[in-house]
Structure formats: C-alpha cells, structure tokens
Amino acid sequence: MSLLVRAAALTNYSEVARAAGLDPVRMLLDAGLSPGVLREPDLKIPVERFGRLLQASADMSGNESFGLCMAESRLLSNLGAVGMLIRDQATLRDSLDMLMRYQPMLNGAQSLAVEECGELVIIRETLIAGSAHQPTRQRVELALGVMVRLIRQLRRPDWQPQRVCFEHAAPRDLSAHHRFLGPRIDFNCDFNGIVCAKADLDARNPLADPAMVRYAQRLVDHSALSQRTTMREDVRRAVLLLLPSGRCSIEQVAESMGVVCRTVQRRLAEEGQSFSTIVNEVRAELATRHVIESDRPLTEVATMLGFSAPSGFSRWYHVQFGCSPRDSRIAHRPAAPSPASKA
C-alpha cells in the first residue's frame, strides 16, 4: 500500500514553480498528480509522486533549494485541525508532543522525535523515501523548513535555531538556506534535524487557549478515527527512528509506541507482517539512499543502519543486493570522461 501525505504539503508549490520558470500544471501531470490537488488540502496523495514532483522541479529549474523555498511562507493553518490543536498548547514542548502524536495523519512517510541532550534539544525528522531510488533531499529541506516556520509562529518571528543539520551534501548556493534558516547550518550530518535550547521548549505560550484546545482535539480525534494507520506503518516509523541508536529491537519499538511487545507481534501477524521483515525493508531502503546516493563513509552507513560492525553490514548487504556496498557504490558512480571526449 502506498504511503500518503496530505495535499497541503504542496502549499506554495505553484508560486515557487512559476518563480523558477516552470509550468506547475505540466509538472504536476508529469508526476502523476492532478492539478486539482492544489485546491483540496485534505486529499491524500502518494508520497512517491510528491517526492518525484519536488525532485523534478529542483532538477528542471536548477534550484537546489526548491523544497526550502516552498517552506518559507508556511503557516500553522496549513496543518488543518492539527495546526489549530498545536497552536494553543501551553508550551512548545506540548505542541511538538501533539505534532508527533498526529504526524501519521499529515504525512505517512515522516517521523518526528524530540531528544534532550543537557540544555539542548534535537528535533529530528526521519523520512521514508517512497521508492528505492528516489532522492529525499527536497522533502527533507521542506520538512525542516516547515518546522522552523512553525516554531517561529509558536515562539516569535525572529526565533533562530542553534543548528540545522542535514544528512545530504551542501548545495552550490547557500544563500536561501542562510536567509531562511540562519548562519548555523551543517551538511553531511548523521541526522536531519534542528538543534535548539531546552528553554525554548518550556517557555509558556501567552496566547494558549484551553477552550480552543478542547475544540480542536475533538476535530482531530474524529478525523483520526477514519484514518487509522496499520501496525506495519507504525512499526516502520519507529524502526526509522531507532535504527541508528542500535536499539531497534521489537521490545524497544513496542515501548516507543506505548504498547506491549505481544500486541505488536499479534497485530503484525494479523496483517500478515513480521517485525524482522519490516526492519529488513527499512534497512534496504536506507542502504540504497546512503550507499548509492551519498559519499558518506561506509562505516558510518553501517552504524546508521544499526549494525555494530562494518563486517555485519557488508555480509547483510551482499545477501540483499548481490555485491559489496563498495562495489555497489562504484557501479553507480558516473564514469569519468575519456581523454578523447575532453578534447
């Protein structure tokens, strides 16, 4: 079953596409999407087509920051009822808790986690590619850009993150990133996320309205009943977040979901799924992304996929893909031009 995202994720697409010299209607059709989805924000569209549209738009326009440009004018209202719910929470921490709780309603291929490190907090975003060879760069930059915009609306317009971290390499032109995200941007990191002060999460929201929270909660819960995710989808999101920690056991996944291990096993069995198969699928997808599409050291890739040693990663990769990760990376690199072609 295809993973889905609300069509509201395409907010501002037409404006950014036209500014980049593209025909948004033609681009949508080429990606397999009806232009009408731009008028129906609550419609669900396949993540694979959404990602294909963003990547094709970046490639054809030459704007490596296409996804980030789409995020620059996002509003809480673009999240629908979930936006209403998080706007009136008592603190930013409460708002993020609600966003994590209802993330599957907004984007079935995106997971959000908040990790505390002393006086700092990491707001980490993890994305499922949607297809084996689809780059995620534009979706990642859109997601982190939207998060910065939401925090500025919840805290103050001039709020700046202490760091913004991207797994992918830096673009040729960083002007859009610095204009929007601030001066502290790091690329080729181990995660995609935002680093901020713990105090930012615990500051009180002077405009919080408990009555509006109760109203929005009823709207969101009613909608959630009709959009229940499968156990497979919930486990995939948890596996994505836990794999790099080396703690991706079924017990840890169950704990992160707030259920007992037997419940996970039983519901997966009812869906004809198994925990080990899901872990393997997620690993294969991440391996394709980091081995073929990046220059990240393979020892780091092994860790990101939850292997305690590179040798274990190499053996697993050979079973999955029929060759070593090093050979796979070499095979997918463009050939160097010959002397004759240079002449």
| pLDDT exceeds 90 at position 229 | no
The lowest-confidence range among 18-27, 224-233, 287-296 is 224-233
pLDDT surpasses 80 at 292: yes
Kindly report whether the global pTM for this prediction surpasses the value 0.75: no
| Per-residue model confidence (pLDDT) at position 219 | 86
Confidence of residue 227 (pLDDT cuts 50, 70, 90): low
213 is written with which tokens? 């929270």
Phi, psi of 318 (to 5 degrees): -65, -40
Q: Is the pLDDT of residue 287 over 80?
A: yes
Give yes or no for a contact between 19 and 30, defined as CB atoms under 8 angstroms apart.
Answer: no
| Integer Cα distance of 205 and 272 in angstroms | 45
* Model pLDDT, residue 343: 44
Q: Check whether 148 has a pLDDT greater than 90.
A: yes
Distance separating alpha carbons of residues 264 and 21, to the nearest angstrom: 49
Question: Is 291:298 a contact under the CB 8 Å cutoff?
Answer: yes
Tell me the average pLDDT of the chain: 88
pLDDT in tens, 105-136: 888 888 899 999 999 999 999 887 666 567 88
Mean pLDDT of 96-106: 90
Burial 176-206 (b: 16+ CB within 10 A, else e): bbeebbeeebeeeeebbbbbbeeebbeeebe
CA 121/CA 15 separation, integer angstroms: 33
Name the band, by pLDDT with cuts 50, 70 and 90, for residue 4: confident
Is the model's pLDDT at 244 over the cut of 50?
yes
What confidence category does residue 230 fall into, taking pLDDT thresholds of 50, 70 and 90?
confident
Q: Which of 38-42, 164-168, 214-218, 224-228 has the highest mean pLDDT?
A: 164-168
Residue 225: pLDDT band with limits 50, 70, 90: low
The C-alpha atoms of residue 42 and residue 44 are separated, in whole angstroms, by: 6
Judge whether residue 137 has pLDDT over 80. yes
CA dihedral 188, 194, 197, 202 (to 10 degrees): -160
Give the per-residue pLDDT at 337: 53
pLDDT digits (tens, 9 = 90+) for 261-286: 898 899 999 889 999 999 999 899 88
pLDDT score recorded for residue 131: 60
Say if strands 185-186 and 192-197 run parallel, antiparallel, or are unpaired. unpaired
Alpha carbon of 16 to those of 21, 61, 343: distances in Å? 9, 10, 39
Instruction: Report the 3 state secondary structure along the chain.
Output: CCCEEEHHHHCCHHHHHHHCCCCHHHHHHHCCCCHHHHHCCCCEEEHHHHHHHHHHHHHHHCCCCHHHHHHCCCCHHHHCHHHHHHHCCCEHHHHHHHHHHHHHHHECCEEEEEEEECCEEEEEEEECCCCCCCCCHHHHHHHHHHHHHHHHHHCCCCCCCCEEECCCCCCCCCHHHHHHHCCCEECCCCCEEEEEEHHHHHCECCCCCHHHHHHHHHHHHHHHHCCCCCHHHHHHHHHHHHHHHCCCCHHHHHHHHCCCHHHHHHHHHHCCCCHHHHHHHHHHHHHHHHHHCCCCCHHHHHHHCCCCCHHHHHHHHHHHHCCCHHHHHHHCCCCCCCHHHHC
| All structural domains of the chain | 64-202 (no CATH), 231-331 (1.10.10.60)
| Residue from 81, 11, 9 nearest 45 by CA | 9
According to the model, what pLDDT value does residue 120 have? 96
* Residue percentage of the chain with pLDDT more than 70: 93
> Are 98 and 89 in contact, with CB atoms under 8 Å apart?
yes
pLDDT category at 28 given cuts 50, 70, 90 is very high
Q: Tokens 């930013």 identify what position?
A: 92
CB of 114 closer than 8 Å to CB of 123: yes
User: Residue 221: pLDDT band by 50, 70, 90 thresholds?
Assistant: confident
Q: How many residues does the chain have?
A: 343
Q: How far apart (Å, rounded) are the C-alpha atoms in residues 5 and 41?
A: 10
